[in-house]
Structure 1
């Protein structure tokens, strides 16, 4: 059985991640949060708590002590690299600590010290300025998880809420590049990975996948584009041949109302905004970013560092709390325990 304890990274310490961690611990009982250990700086967190006027007891601990101390104090796994971060002021000098927190969080879940990884937001531009060579957070996690493995891991981004779960097949590319990069093989691989994790970590025995059409009206029989018939529809058939309950392609403008959502467990959008606009409209404050296809569980708040409001104590912890609860739920489902 996986441990109940979750590993929570600091994210960018100049962003809202640290104050969200403080808020989550303070609201741990009313929000029924699982125990978590924060990877960061005790001094930095203590200074922030004082600045915000929040009396949060902190305790530097090792992994073996963290869960036991959680009810009385926020357990902190101290980092070797930390600099005095100024809220709202991005600084490449913070990059080493940001990276160390991620690496040690991955190590904790891979060695069984933590049951899942929850990551606070990072600023890629800050890391790039310090020489970070990965496209983003997810790709770095995939590389860490893939060390020593023969096959290359391909992570899949899912945004989840109680009302809707979506996966964009193509993600951070220009809209003009989507038709060229969208292939039947990519759709099938994305759907296969998503279905496997829905079974393994969400306890859905027969996941139902609904695929959006790329074009308006799913191509209108070819009048509005051939991609839906030539690329998306064959992917649906291949997923079905793999034993996955897939359907579509559907016109995206009719797929996200309440009655339609009752007919599937996950919607696959063909490009970023097609998938993310609906869920951010329905669940803006409590959506969770989940990385599928990794050998461990990783969730994250579905928002950024919010440097503009960092250190003011007004950032809402809803999405982080949802990410913590979902990580615990996924770990319980994977281990066969009751959530």
Structure 2
């Protein structure tokens, strides 16, 4: 593992915040693009089997998103209150869920129960189709509360996949204009979740700017570079990458809170996708863990502790 030189100061290369596009919602083709990226990464990869499984899971997510029914939007009163108090409008921990998320889950499970995936994965999907609604809701609560370790590792990716579809649908149905900056810059302004990774853009007016990518709804929001996304400290930030790579993915590490977040540099590889490439660079997570550093945000396809269930 190598440490990159620190050559910038926070905000040094960036325009004033008011001149920067604050937020990018995911496109409605998010999961199709993610599936394509998983398929590109899988051949020859040490996690190739799991990446192939996730490509099929993302296909099912895209089908669920394409057929998702309209949902009641937040009321104008809710929107006003969240705007005035700087709260996420679609807060994943506080907002009650419509039962439609379970209908999306059922579609995903039906597809995966007959997909060309390991037998154990098909059996898990079939078993969840028969699970009580109360158990599904309980597992969803755990995942959204950041307690994914309480969910069986073989079931967690399916539940998380349905929750991702639900929040992507709600966010994209509302549009960017209803969301506002939060005082806490390290949490998603749409749903309040932690980022899975960060992306440094390579083109247009966002060139060189860092956007954090939400682990749940895949929204990207701007946060100045060389500031810890977890505690917002600015001193001693260090960057680590794997030896022998081109530095397209680096771990940004903070000494104050002892956490790290991966950054994807699109000028090195513009095909990268925030969630897929975060998972595909698990070797960097393992090295950071050996160095005593903790992830500051989850990848919801990955069980806590780095457990990969391929069946």
Report the TM-score, using the length of structure 2 for normalisation: 0.31
Larger Rg: 1
Q: What's the TM-score once normalised by structure 1's chain length?
A: 0.29
